[in-house]
């Protein structure tokens, strides 16, 4: 089976915790030794298993921040 | 092939545009007639085709907003 190498460079915060203990987190993650990208994803408590998620560039994350600050939640 | 029903209830903003014209967007989307969830995903210009993405609850989106306002980007 193919292997994905990853390294969490920076943990920025937790969005939520599921009943089974997994956390939805915003991290700065390097995938396969490439430049790190911002990443929203679910992780098990040991950060060994991961769920599906998305990666975002710094520009996309800044745009997202501006959107969130301009709408009523 | 199984069909996914979806309805974009609210377009909150665009994070980025790719070279092929797809947009990474934050929307409020109802999937299969269920309650709408916030959703970060790539869409084609006509919003007919979609890429992979994540759905977030309102609470998760609020937590994300707080995180983004507390870190240096």
> What CATH number did the domain enclosing B30 receive?
2.30.31.70
B64 phi/psi in degrees, rounded to 5: -65, -40
DSSP E strands in chain B: the ranges are: 6-17, 23-31, 37-43, 50-56
Q: Is residue A40 part of a domain?
A: yes
Q: State the pLDDT at residue B3.
A: 84
> Smallest Cβ distance to B61: which of A12, A60, A68?
A68
Structure-block tokens of residue A29: 């993650």
In a domain, B1, yes or no: no
In a domain, A45, yes or no: yes
Contact residues, chain A, for B11 at CB < 8 Å: none
Work out the pLDDT band at A28, boundaries 50, 70, 90: very high
Would the pTM of this model clear 0.90, i.e. be above it?
A: yes
CA–CA separation, B49 and A61 (whole Å): 23
Mutate to test the interface with B, among A60, A68, A72 (most CBs of B within 10 A): A68
Q: For residue B14, is it within any domain?
A: yes
Report the number of distinct structural domains present in chain B.
Answer: 1
Residue A1 lies in a domain: no
The confidence score (pLDDT) of residue B2 equals: 78
Residue A1 reports pLDDT greater than 80: no
Nearest-angstrom CA–CA distance, B65 and A15: 9
Length of chain A as a residue count = 73
């Amino acid at each position: 089976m193919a292997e994905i190498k990853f390294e969490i460079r920076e943990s920025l915060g937790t969005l939520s915790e599921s009943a089974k203990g997994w956390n939805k987190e915003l991290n700065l993650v390097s995938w396969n030794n490439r430049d790190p990208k911002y990443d929203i994803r679910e992780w098990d408590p040991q950060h060994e298993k991961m769920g599906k998620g998305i990666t975002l560039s710094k520009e996309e994350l800044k745009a997202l921040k501006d959107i969130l600050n301009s709408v009523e939640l």
